């Protein structure tokens, strides 16, 4: 028996087609909404999800293209640059860190210069020969660049004029692990009045003279990183007269960790020169002792202080309020309950206290911190013996607080 064919007249009627289109349009979202959704789910460190999203539809492909702001260029990537630059029109960072072809770096920069990019940041390969010619061509058309990363670069004859010539509006500069000396920094800092942050970590020929020069020559500078340098090794000279150095209130963050010769004398001078510091990193500066109390007194806006590994640091004599301090890292130090008692009385605004490997701390000192620092959100007690019996304080001027009842 022949089966009766079903008719599709109802499905294909103009009225139903109109209703169907209306139902679809009810679920339509404009690009701006999808962009907000994608921004929420994208991890800045892992943009692999963009590939999956771009396969859903042409609309998603267009949106994800506009959300890529950084492009990493390798040797294998170079032939595809015209296509990539045409596809990703909102690029603001060009990362050449893994372009291991030093001889063709100038040619690469010249090639990129022909594209109408609005780049703000450029990262050059680690240990490359500084591409002065390529950058000069590059910046004739790309005039928006204000950030340069050039670590362990080889500057021919230490001629730093290309940096000044190529980047008159430079705001962020990273020159880690180079052979610069103080005079080199003095020379190019004179022409970088817009500089906001500079990273000179592991530049082992630089001393505190560089700090003073940067403060004096760069009026917009708010952050200096000089970890693992020779700060503290040079003779300060007329250290009794701070007029010679001046006062530079613009600086907010100073990173000086692993400067083993840094002394109390130097940090007292730095506190007078940079009175508005909000972050100070002195981790593993072994010669710092009582001078840190004077730093806290002078830098009254300090919010973050790192004293990790400062074995000689002494804070138990602190008898003044430090209301702005929020983060204090005392890990790997010899602080004891007496120190914690002084901290709990004078740093009542603490949000985070780190005490890893502080073997002289007991439950007595911890309880006083918890009682007096009422805003504390985190206290790190890893690898300390809180249950050990407290030892008497050697200085009887501040009596041992009565142990609180459990």
Q: Which DSSP string corresponds to 64-122?
A: HHHT--EEE--GGGGGGHHHHHHH-TT--EEE-TT---GGGHHHHHHHHTTS-----EE
Dump the DSSP string for 265-317.
HHHHHHHHHSTT-SEEE-TT-TT--THHHHHHHH-TT--EEE-TT-TT---TT
CA nearest neighbour of 112 among 127, 130, 125, 95: 95
58-66 helix and 31-41 helix, angle to the nearest 10 degrees: 60
268 CB contacts (<8 Å, ≥6 apart)? 291, 294, 295, 298
177 vs 204: CA distance, rounded Å: 8
The β-bridge partners of 393 are none
Burial class (CB in 10 A: 0-12, 13-18, 19+), 394: exposed
- Could you tell me the pLDDT band of residue 171, with boundaries at 50, 70 and 90? very high
Of the candidates 312, 318, 308, 311, the one whose C-alpha atom is nearest the C-alpha of residue 338 is: 318
Residue 210 has pLDDT above 60, yes or no: yes
pTM equals 0.82
Residue 7, pLDDT > 90, answer: no
Least confident residue range of 18-27, 129-138, 388-397? 388-397
Pick from 381, 358, 360: which is nearest to 370 by CA? 381
What is the pLDDT, as a whole number, of residue 236? 47
| pLDDT confidence tier of residue 260, bands split at 50, 70 and 90 | very high
Buried b (16+ CB within 10 A) or exposed e, 374-391: eebeeeeeeebeeeeebe
Is the pLDDT reported for residue 64 higher than 80? no
CB within 8 A of 276, min separation 6: which ones? 249, 250, 251, 252, 299, 301
Residue 154 pLDDT grade (very low, low, confident, very high; cuts 50, 70, 90):
confident
Q: C-alpha angle with apex 93: 90 to 95, nearest 5 degrees?
A: 135
The values of phi and psi at residue 6, to 5°, are -80, 140
Contact 175, 203 (CB under 8 A): yes
pLDDT of residue 399: 39
Distance (Å, rounded) from C-alpha 150 to C-alpha 353?
35
239 within 8 A of 262, measured Cβ to Cβ: no
The confidence band for 89, taking pLDDT boundaries of 50, 70 and 90, is confident
Categorize the per-residue pLDDT at 121 as very low, low, confident or very high, splitting at 50, 70 and 90: very high
* 3 state DSSP class of 253: strand
User: Is the pLDDT score of 358 beyond 70?
Assistant: yes
Which has the closest alpha carbon to 69: 52, 54, 47?
47
Euclidean distance between CA atoms 183 and 18, whole angstroms: 77
- 207, with CB counted inside 10 A (0-12, 13-18, 19+), is buried
SS3 at position 59? helix
pLDDT at 401: 40
Mean pLDDT across the stretch 83-97? 91
What's the Cα-to-Cα distance from 291 to each of 207, 228, 389, rounded to whole Å?
Answer: 19, 20, 30
Q: Which of 3-12, 19-28, 186-195 is the least confident region?
A: 3-12
Residue 243, pLDDT score: 46
pLDDT higher than threshold 80 for residue 224: yes
- Inform me whether the pLDDT recorded for 32 exceeds 80: no
Q: Name the more confident of 341 and 20.
A: 341
What are the tokens at 73? Answer: 């260029």
Tokens describing residue 161: 């004029």
Residue whose C-alpha is closest to residue 207's, from 184, 225, 182, 190: 182
d(CA 261, CA 231): 7
- Per the CB < 8 A criterion, the answer to whether 347 and 373 are in contact is yes
């Amino acid at each position: 028996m022949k089966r009766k064919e079903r008719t599709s007249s109802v499905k294909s009627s103009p009225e139903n087609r109109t209703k169907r289109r209306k139902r679809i349009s009810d679920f339509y979202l404009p690009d701006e909404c999808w962009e907000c959704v994608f921004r929420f789910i994208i991890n800045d460190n892992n943009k692999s999800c963009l590939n999956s999203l771009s396969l859903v539809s042409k609309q998603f492909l267009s949106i994800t293209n506009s959300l890529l702001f950084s492009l990493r260029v390798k040797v294998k990537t170079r032939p595809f640059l015209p296509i990539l630059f045409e596809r990703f029109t909102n690029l603001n960072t060009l990362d050449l860190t893994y372009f291991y072809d030093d001889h063709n770096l100038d040619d690469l920069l010249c090639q990129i210069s022909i594209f109408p990019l609005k780049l703000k940041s450029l990262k050059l390969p680690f240990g490359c020969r500084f591409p002065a010619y390529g950058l000069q061509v590059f910046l004739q058309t790309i005039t928006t660049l204000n950030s340069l990363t050039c670590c362990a670069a080889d500057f021919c004859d230490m001629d730093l004029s290309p940096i000044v010539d190529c980047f008159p509006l430079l705001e962020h500069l990273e020159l880690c692990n180079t052979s610069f000396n103080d005079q080199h920094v003095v020379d190019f800092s004179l022409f970088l009045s817009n500089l906001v942050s500079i990273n000179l970590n592991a530049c082992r020929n630089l001393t505190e003279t560089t700090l003073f020069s940067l403060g004096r020559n760069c009026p917009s500078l708010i952050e200096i990183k000089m970890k693992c340098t020779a700060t503290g090794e040079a003779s300060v000279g007329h250290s009794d007269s701070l007029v010679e150095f001046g006062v530079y209130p613009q600086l907010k963050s100073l990173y000086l960790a692993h400067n083993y010769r840094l002394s109390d004398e130097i940090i007292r001078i730095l506190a007078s020169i940079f009175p508005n510091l909000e972050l100070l990193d002195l981790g593993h500066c072994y010669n710092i002792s009582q001078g840190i109390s004077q730093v806290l007194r002078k830098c009254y806006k300090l919010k973050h202080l790192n004293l990790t590994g400062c074995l000689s640091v002494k804070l138990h004599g602190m008898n003044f309020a430090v209301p702005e301090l929020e983060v204090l890292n005392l890990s790997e130090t010899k602080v004891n309950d007496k120190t914690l008692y002084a901290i709990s009385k004078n740093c009542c605004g603490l949000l985070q206290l780190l005490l890893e490997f502080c073997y002289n701390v007991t439950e007595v000192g911890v309880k006083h911190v918890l009682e007096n620092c009422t805003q504390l959100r985190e206290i790190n007690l890893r690898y300390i013996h809180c249950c050990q019996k407290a030892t008497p304080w050697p200085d009887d001027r501040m009596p041992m607080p009565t142990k609180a009842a459990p």
